[in-house]
Amino acid sequence: MTDFAGNQQIIEIVYLIASVLFILSLKWLSAPSTARHGVLAGEIGMVLAIGGTLLHHGIVDYKWIVIALVIGSGIGVPLGLVQMTAVPQRTALSHAFGAFCVTLVGTAEFYLRTPNVPHFMMAVLSMEVILASLTFTGSLMAAGKLQEVLPQRPITYKGQNFVNLFFLAIAIAVAIYLVVHPGAKQLFPLMIVVPLIFGVLMIVPIGGADMPTVISLLNSYAGLSAAAMGFVLNSKLLIIAGALDGSSGFILSVIMSKAMNRSFTNVLFGAFGQVQAAAAAGKEEKTVRSATAEEAAGILAAANKVVIVPGYGMAVAQAQHKVRELYDALTKRGVDVRFAIHPVAGRMPGHMNVLLAEADIPYDRLIEMDDINGDFPQTDVALVIGANDVTNPAARTDQSSPIFGMPILDVDKARTVMVIKRSMNPGFAGIDNPLYYLDRTLMLFGDAKSFVNNIVRELAGNSH
């Protein structure tokens, strides 16, 4: 007996140390110079916590724990080695795995405890299971859309919001019934299945451009469900980890939706696709000026300050390494080259930074929107590669535009604007971009990767 109690105290102290390490882990992530210590702290905390848990006096079967840990590691290693362009879908998939784990543990705990579940406990357990199951299918859907296994276009139909809210309402009604009657175990599966359906329906109307917000929101849900699990298991370590993850996801969601000038409810319930019909209607013939790679190279070589604006199109074309060659070629000629990063460029928060860092572009050249917008009037050339909506000046001026009010990169204020684009087709969101019709804008038609390559070759040719 005393031995058991002693073990329990050791476990609690180990968990306390792990909690401290988790907080330090996130604290050290604040700057690139200390960030890798953060990973190490997190790893040590995790190993300590798992080791401490194995001391738990109730554990009689170690064999299957080890087997499961080994299989899990076997799945985890390839997931940790995916290409950097695949990081958004990998992240969505890992949210799904995390939510899967929480759903399973919640389910097991319910069947072990029913019907002796106190009301408050049952309320927390319901929250855990509902949040985790909708995060599970929602994240799988998001991963499918990002991997392009599923259609990326938002799918909308009449009464969609009503149907979605109806499913959510059923789940909550079942949860309330179970809180009052925790013995009604035949109803429990309903509380899993209905949110699973809701998770799918929730992501159906979401388009690719909204992914950064949605991934962040799912991240937050995953964290909150884990914190709820901490209440059920009375584990302060889990509550802390869940609260950290939940607040991280929440902060990112707020940043992302601010960067799109939209509210959460608007992202989740107001699919982007619906507003576009009106915007496309008033189309008139406008002329654009285009340029060749040779001309573009000449203008870039003559510039003093160049700002490159990367977007998701750069990632799709896998052009980041060619962009790095362009950066090198221009820097060697004494041109000051910087990158302007919009918060929602790409498919998840910080996506562009990772891709450019992978291409060995120094991170102090990657400048956030608010810090670089004031510099555009002094910029000789703004080179837009695969970005569209985040450069659309209509967001500032045109009240009828669906993206009106969204903060954008002020590339139209640069002396010359060059846009690499495959064709004049409006982008993913289908919104026309007045930037392309400005007198100072040159359109560079072609695939991002090969066009940048051509510019690099022209620059190399000129130097002889």
Question: What residues from 361 to 380 belong to the interface with other proteins (CB under 8 A)?
Answer: 362-366, 368
| Terminal Cα distance for the chain, rounded | 84
Any idea what the Cα angle at residue 303 is, between residues 298 and 309, rounded to 5°?
A: 95
| Calculated CA dihedral for residues 446, 449, 450, 451, nearest 10 degrees | 50
Alpha-carbon gap, residue 246 to 249, rounded angstroms: 5
Residue 42 contacts other proteins per CB under 8 A? yes
Q: Which candidate in 245, 389, 412, 432 is catalytic?
A: 389
272-331 positions binding other proteins, by CB under 8 A: none
124-153 positions binding other proteins, by CB under 8 A: 124
Output the six-digit token pair for 76: 């985890």
Nearer to other proteins, 343 or 427 (CB): 343
* Per-position x/- string for 344-363, each x denoting binding to other proteins as judged by CB under 8 A, each - no binding: ----xxxx-xx--xx-x-xx
Nearer to other proteins, 328 or 447 (CB): 328
Residue 76 contacts other proteins per CB under 8 A? yes
Nearer to other proteins, 351 or 421 (CB): 351
95-124 positions binding other proteins, by CB under 8 A: 95, 97-98, 100-102, 104-105, 107-109, 111-112, 118, 120-121, 124
Output the six-digit token pair for 84: 């950097």
Give the distance, in angstroms, between the CA of residue 459 and the centroid of all CA atoms in the same chain. Answer: 36
Alpha-carbon gap, residue 313 to 420, rounded angstroms: 10
Residue 71 contacts other proteins per CB under 8 A? yes
| Cis-peptide into 115, omega within 30 deg | yes
Nearer to other proteins, 215 or 429 (CB): 215
217-256 positions binding other proteins, by CB under 8 A: 219, 222-223, 226-227, 229-231, 233-249, 251-252, 255
Residue 16 contacts other proteins per CB under 8 A? no
389 is catalytic: yes
Handedness of CA 424, 427, 429, 433 (dihedral sign): negative
Residue 91 contacts other proteins per CB under 8 A? yes
Q: How far is the CB of 131 from other proteins (least distance, A)?
A: 13
Q: Calculate the alpha carbon distances from 394 to 67, 124, 378, 398, 433 in Å.
A: 57, 46, 22, 5, 7
Alpha-carbon gap, residue 124 to 171, rounded angstroms: 14
Q: How far is the CB of 451 from other proteins (least distance, A)?
A: 25
What residues are labeled active site? 389
